[in-house]
Amino acid sequence: MPYTAKQVANEFLELAKRDGRKLTPMQVQKLVYFAYGWYLAITGERLLNERVEAWQWGPVIPSLYSEFKAYGSGPITELAAEYYPQGVTLGFNFPRVASDDPDKDAFALRVIEKVWAIYGKYSGLQLSTMTHAANSPWSQSYDKNVRSTDIPDEVIRQYFQEVANQHARQPAAQ
């Protein structure tokens, strides 16, 4: 079963906190997208239980946009919350990556940590620029005349597999 985007976002927020950093909504969007792409390329399975959409500023997961839009371009100060009924009162949960499959969870967390190690140093604008690269899933899907176009999983998977293949073909640095 795929994770919620909020679960994955919270992992990145916790990694940033661990490293004494703060993330903006744009950074979280792009980091979750990169984790989704790499996980899909490696496993052929979806990391998230929702679709990635092509918006003007790149790939967007709508639930994360809604969750963090109040922060604007500033740092996020709270984890994403899920709301659930608990008896008669409304409860709040700040979800992290967890399911009924500990092996899947461990692998998903390794992918998230690797994405953090590679992409976590970049600003939201730098990450957005990366997602706008020629032939990227966003560039193949975005249509300025259509709002909220889904980016097909197969396009994302193929792109990230090709990036991995290109990297594998590069000679090792001396």
Task: Report residue 5: phi and psi, to 5°.
Answer: -60, -30
* CA dist., res. 79 & res. 13, Å (int): 7
Let me know if residue 150 belongs to a domain: yes
Let me know if residue 174 belongs to a domain: no
Q: Give the domain extent around 26.
A: 5-169
Question: Is 0.85 topped by the overall pTM?
Answer: yes
Return the DSSP state at 105. Answer: H
Number of domains in the chain: 1
**Calculated CA dihedral for residues 11, 51, 125, 25, nearest 10 degrees:** -50
The string of pLDDT tens digits covering residues 125-173 is 999 999 999 999 999 999 988 878 999 999 999 999 999 988 777 776 5
Let me know if residue 18 belongs to a domain: yes
* CA dist., res. 59 & res. 51, Å (int): 10
Predicted confidence (pLDDT) at residue 1 exceeds the cutoff of 60? yes
